[in-house]
Amino acid sequence: MENLQDLQNEILTAVASASDLKKLDEVRVAAMGKKGSITEKMKSLGSLPLEEKIAAGKELNLLKTAVEKAIEERKTYLETEELNRRLARESIDVTLPARPEIQGRIHPVSKIYEEVVAIFGQMGFEVAEGPDIEDQFHNFNALNMPADHPARQMQDTFYIPNPDSDNFDDSFVVRTHTSPVQIRTMENKKPPIRVIAPGRTYRSDYDATHTPMFHQVEGLVIDKTTTMAHLKGCLYDFVRAFFEIDDIKVRYRPSYFPFTEPSAEMDIGCRKNKDELKIGEGDDWLEILGCGMVHPKVLAAGGLDPDEYQGFAFGMGIDRLAMLKYGIPDLRTFFESDLRWLKHYGFVPLDESSMTGGLSNNGGLAR
């Protein structure tokens, strides 16, 4: 078979000069497609005498293999080139500052969340979590609130039917507080326990200071010798760090919660003027959290021996802390997703809250 070398040179030149994948494919079709130059030669083999057919077939196969290899290599080369071109085209300089008009904001709730975790984190607390949809055992019974307990009426609970049971006692709830995480922690962890549990909570309530979904943070410390003095010191340190006021005034008032005994509420000193609330000084008081020594029945429900272990718990509203610290008057606006609101009250990202680097980064307030 004549001219095979010329044909090969011709095709290989075409392959080498194909400037993109589309052109390369055209070259492939022209050589090896149904009517391609190599295909035609293959077809013509049939008319040759046997000896020649074998020799020419061999040569043709060599040609075909060489062309295939050249096409494959060219393809890889063109693909790599295309990728490099794309990477160069789409490269971004990550060291450039964000454009202000498209910069996002950190929601005040997230900000307070970070601040609370930073403060308790430095005191050695871990963050614990529990489900938003709870069973009544964890949300109520284990916290010393049996079905007929009047405290159940203190909270306007959203119930969720249990598909496997018609018995109301088996229905689920969206947790009315973060306190069930106390029980879940005790079930899963041996003392010493030192956790905070921030998260979403739900109650059927709606006005300027209540929304159906809100946020709380729970605290739980359990060991063999933990006392109310530790509770007082721990929470005092917390409010000092949180409000960034070293000599903040505080007081503890006796109170009642089913899951603590004794129970207390903590107030911080403040001054209420007409349109202004000054925290840390003045003769007025502002309640900020509930706390107490964990009730022996709660320890037992969590699987701990109340004769061996004791500890304290506390719970507070994250949104309420945000309203107080950043002077936001209406809780409902927190969850309306109004971008103008978020721009006003939100925080610049990357200003991380830390005990050493500045907690609230007021300089970073996006106002």
- Based on the shown chain and the rule CB under 6 A, indicate whether residue 179 belongs to the binding site for ligand DAH: yes
- Based on the shown chain and the rule CB under 6 A, indicate whether residue 269 belongs to the binding site for ligand DAH: no
Which of residues 120 and 257 has its CB atom nearest to ligand DAH in the complex?
Answer: 257
Q: What are phi and psi of 98, to 5 degrees?
A: -65, 150
DSSP 363: G
CA pair distance 298, 311, nearest whole angstrom = 11
Considering only 218, 242, 321, 342, the residue that binds ligand DAH (CB under 6 A) is: 218
Both tokens of 129, joined, read: 């979590």
Q: What are phi and psi of 107, to 5 degrees?
A: -65, 140
Stretch that binds ligand DAH, among 224-232, 307-315, 342-350, 353-361 (CB under 6 A): 307-315
Which of residues 315 and 346 has its CB atom nearest to ligand DAH in the complex?
Answer: 315
Cβ 222 vs Cβ 193: under 8 Å: yes
Stretch that binds ligand DAH, among 83-91, 112-120, 286-294, 333-341 (CB under 6 A): 286-294
Residues 6+ apart with CB under 8 A from 200: 132, 175, 213, 214, 215
Cβ 32 vs Cβ 42: under 8 Å: no
Of the chain, the end-to-end C-alpha distance in Å amounts to 84
Which of residues 132 and 281 has its CB atom nearest to ligand DAH in the complex?
Answer: 132
Stretch that binds ligand DAH, among 26-34, 37-45, 129-137, 313-321 (CB under 6 A): 313-321
| DSSP H/E element including 281 | none
- Based on the shown chain and the rule CB under 6 A, indicate whether residue 120 belongs to the binding site for ligand DAH: no
CA pair distance 278, 274, nearest whole angstrom = 11
Stretch that binds ligand DAH, among 223-231, 285-293, 298-306, 318-326 (CB under 6 A): 285-293
- Based on the shown chain and the rule CB under 6 A, indicate whether residue 242 belongs to the binding site for ligand DAH: no
- Based on the shown chain and the rule CB under 6 A, indicate whether residue 140 belongs to the binding site for ligand DAH: no
Residues 6+ apart with CB under 8 A from 217: 113, 116, 178, 196, 197, 198, 199, 315, 316, 318
CB of 182 to ligand DAH, least distance (A): 7
Collapsed DSSP state (helix, strand, coil) of residue 353: coil
Considering only 71, 239, 291, 304, the residue that binds ligand DAH (CB under 6 A) is: 291
- Based on the shown chain and the rule CB under 6 A, indicate whether residue 257 belongs to the binding site for ligand DAH: yes
Cβ 319 vs Cβ 217: under 8 Å: no
CA 122, 311, 131, 153 dihedral sign is: negative
- Based on the shown chain and the rule CB under 6 A, indicate whether residue 173 belongs to the binding site for ligand DAH: no
- Based on the shown chain and the rule CB under 6 A, indicate whether residue 141 belongs to the binding site for ligand DAH: no
Which of residues 185 and 260 has its CB atom nearest to ligand DAH in the complex?
Answer: 260
Considering only 260, 310, 353, 360, the residue that binds ligand DAH (CB under 6 A) is: 260
- Based on the shown chain and the rule CB under 6 A, indicate whether residue 292 belongs to the binding site for ligand DAH: yes
Q: State which residue has the least CB distance to ligand DAH.
A: 315
Which stretches of the chain bind ligand DAH, using CB under 6 A? 177, 179, 218, 257, 260, 290-292, 313-315
